[in-house]
Amino acid sequence: MKDLSILLLSLLLLTGSSEIVPGQESLPASQEELGPIPAEVVWDGKTYAVSDQQLPTREIGTHLGQASFIRGTRMVYEIKGSNSSDQLAIKQMGKYYLLATSRR
Instruction: Quote the CA–CA distance of 75 and 3 in Å, as a whole number.
Output: 42
Q: What is the model's pLDDT at position 73?
A: 75
> In terms of DSSP H, where are the helices of the chain?
2-15
Is residue 4 assigned to a domain? no
Is residue 40 assigned to a domain? yes
Query: In this predicted model, which residue has the larger pLDDT, 85 or 56?
Result: 56
Angle value at C-alpha 38, between 37 and 43, nearest 5 degrees: 125
Is residue 8 assigned to a domain? no
Is residue 22 assigned to a domain? no
* Tally of domains in the chain: 1
Query: In this predicted model, which residue has the larger pLDDT, 6 or 24?
Result: 6
CA-closest candidate to residue 66, choices 55, 57, 77, 58: 77
SS3 label, residue 88: strand
Q: Which tens digits make up the pLDDT trace of 57-79?
A: 989 988 887 887 766 777 788 88
* Reported pTM: 0.52
pLDDT classification of 19: cutoffs 50, 70, 90: very low
Range of the domain at 68: 29-102
